[in-house]
Structure 1
């Protein structure tokens, strides 16, 4: 079997988390959920065999190499070239395979699943009725709330939930209108002292300019229908009441205030690659989506470096991954961690013909072909992107 770090059961995770003085036990019942492995890892058992202190690129690579014959290599390259516009298949079919090199890549991850809680205050106009205030019970702290019904599956990338804090409601006088329900009209009472307002304030009619009559080009006048000949009109905002309904309390004069617990579950990840110089030119995202062999998968409240009895390199690599543990926000608490190490088989193939050479990579068990820049048989002279644009 694989010499990995000791596997920790879900019960042990719950026990470790519950024993912490930072968490109430009710938070950890959902830890019974079984997490899924990362998408780029296949659930395969691998008989790891290596001498103690084996060096990267030697014993480990020999153990994880994928065997490809010449026919398979050419078929993979021909298929890759066939999906590229204006690429010829002749080099893939006829050029000599000069070398086949193993350039395996090790991928280490540490996922930290955390729960973060904060309290915000919400208000709404109070229109009467019962409230859930302190007289009905003690207001609970944010970490005392039992939210196990909202708890997601472990290592969910992100989830947010909101819940009302019991017994946190209260009714307060609206500060904007001092409990009156109305505020002064900013149009016709803009300069009044606080607590005073004037009613029946009138403004000049904009249609007749305060004359009450509409002048015409022939010199005649007609009665202004907008102000009915008075020359003044009531305030359009408040109807000359001098007051308008308070927008904050909607005229009720009181506000219902309650506390809301905002809970977020997030998975913070640290990822590290270890590639030989032969595979250093391949972008990291190519390895992240490749399928490989899982060498280690440990889950615990707080993960420690894995231990491989026969590989100093893997032990050191695991320690480096753990050392890059992401920082946790002060308002968050760690629920569980998962540490994985996998190896992605990578084969570098070099082909030659009359002094010309080019290389490509066959990556993972899905055998994805990657060509960085140069392929000797292209006929579009770099015009393919322009042709694609014209098709649009």
Structure 2
């Protein structure tokens, strides 16, 4: 059966057929054209994009997408049922170690060597009065979540099949299958919602396929770049400077616009000259990894230093939704794990949890009380790297330093 012909100011009837061979507007090929192709003074007054888009908002209703417009509309995910309590996994925690005096001495000497203004004698001569080993605990929870939003978008309609509502019911946003490219990495994917396409006239060019040339304001002519509008140009002739008729504009001072070639119009940038747009509903799927951690540390060592060093992994679990740590010997760790897990489950109602993982690390910390001459103070050795925090090093100066 022949497909219906689509005129410039018509849109195809979805019930009449699902295919259309759409042709793009192209400028005339007659190089001798002396007048603009279109009289823009007789064209209707142009409207801003917002007004044009509002006129295009009368779409065929799509069940489940009635509120979708040209702005993002977040879609709440389905409810997730947590597993029964009898499926709670067993918690097993590894033990931690300690540090000896020779390691402490080596650590403070290395620390001194990294600071050119610190004297070497304290590091070599200080007396360690007490070395108190302990463990800091670093709990870390990651929640990899998915959110979905929809909005109407459009592309030029080049012809072909139109998958509109007449082809069937559109699946709801959370019914469309989609898998993340990588777990625990932020990224966004997009899908076209099936059976939501609709063909409409281009709002930007009123289905003409062309728009007014901005370079010449729709007049087809601009000031001649060769004579700068004078119509003549000075040139040498028989040893003298004379005024000659401009060879580009033939003395008129006006030349064909270099953008529209004198046609006063160019192909519409929205529909690419095809006069029609295919509107459809687009699904935006955003994957995001949310991270929260907690440090439990009883000495004077700043908590943020614990996060930057290596320690011993005591506990590591993953699942769609993890259970908070509940049986660790340090009660504060259990309490804060429960708090953080609950926050991740309730803080983002528009997101669905895809996967969670959490771990607990023990970072060795040794608080060292020392004396050197008349100085009595403390420093800390922490992490498997034996990093040192010594805010009151006893001999600090700028001897030997040169500021460039």
Instruction: State if a TM-score over 0.5 links the two structures.
Output: yes
Cα deviation code 1:8-27 (max 9, x no counterpart): xxxxxxxxxxxxx81699xx
Structure 1 pair 111/239, CA: closer, same or farther in 2 (3 Å)?
A: closer
Q: Pairwise CA RMSD of aligned residues?
A: 3.7
Q: Distance in 1 between matches of 2:78 and 2:230?
A: 77
1:246 matches 2:276: no
Q: Distance in 1 between matches of 2:124 and 2:336?
A: 40
Aligned length: 317
Other structure's SS at 2:124 match: helix
Cα deviation code 1:271-296 (max 9, x no counterpart): 122222x334x251x21133334444
2:190 is aligned, of 162, 165, 171, to 162
**Alignment check: 8 A CA contact 2:93 2:328 kept:** no
Structure 1 pair 132/300, CA: closer, same or farther in 2 (3 Å)?
A: same
**Alignment check: 8 A CA contact 1:359 1:371 kept:** no
- State TM-score, norm by structure 1: 0.67
1:111 is aligned, of 138, 142, 154, to 142
Other structure's SS at 1:346 match: strand
Cα deviation code 1:207-257 (max 9, x no counterpart): 557664336797843222122234443344433333322121121111233
1:279 is aligned, of 281, 284, 300, to 300
Moved more, 175-184 or 117-126: 117-126
- State TM-score, norm by structure 2: 0.65
2:101 is aligned, of 55, 67, 70, to 70
Structure 1 pair 239/76, CA: closer, same or farther in 2 (3 Å)?
A: closer
- Which residue pairs with 2:94 in the alignment? 46
1:214 matches 2:233: yes
Q: Distance in 2 between matches of 1:129 and 1:77?
A: 74
- Which residue pairs with 1:268 in the alignment? 290
Shift of 1:381: 4.5
1:361 is aligned, of 380, 388, 404, to 380
1:224 is aligned, of 231, 236, 246, to 246
1:126 matches 2:157: yes
| Structure with greater proportional helix content | 1
Moved more, 119-128 or 206-215: 206-215
Q: Distance in 1 between matches of 2:275 and 2:337?
A: 62
Other structure's SS at 2:161 match: coil
Aligned ranges 1:124-203 → 2 under 5 Å: 124-148=155-179, 150=180, 152-153=182-183, 156-186=184-214
Structure 1 pair 344/44, CA: closer, same or farther in 2 (3 Å)?
A: farther
1:255 matches 2:277: yes
Other structure's SS at 1:337 match: strand
Shift of 1:352: 0.6
Aligned ranges 1:295-374 → 2 under 5 Å: 295-308=314-327, 312-322=331-341, 324-325=343-344, 328-364=347-383, 366-374=384-392
Cα deviation code 1:324-378 (max 9, x no counterpart): 54864443112333344433221111221221134221213x1422234332344
- Which residue pairs with 2:20 in the alignment? none
1:100 is aligned, of 116, 128, 131, to 131
Structure 1 pair 184/272, CA: closer, same or farther in 2 (3 Å)?
A: same
Shift of 1:166: 2.7
Other structure's SS at 1:289 match: coil
Structure 1 pair 95/214, CA: closer, same or farther in 2 (3 Å)?
A: closer
Q: Distance in 2 between matches of 1:321 and 1:330?
A: 16
- Structure 2: runs of 5+ lacking an equivalent: 1-76, 82-90
**Alignment check: 8 A CA contact 2:116 2:401 kept:** no
Shift of 1:205: 4.5
- Which residue pairs with 1:14 in the alignment? none
Moved more, 86-95 or 217-226: 217-226
Structure 1 pair 342/87, CA: closer, same or farther in 2 (3 Å)?
A: same
Other structure's SS at 2:160 match: coil
Q: Distance in 1 between matches of 2:129 and 2:355?
A: 49
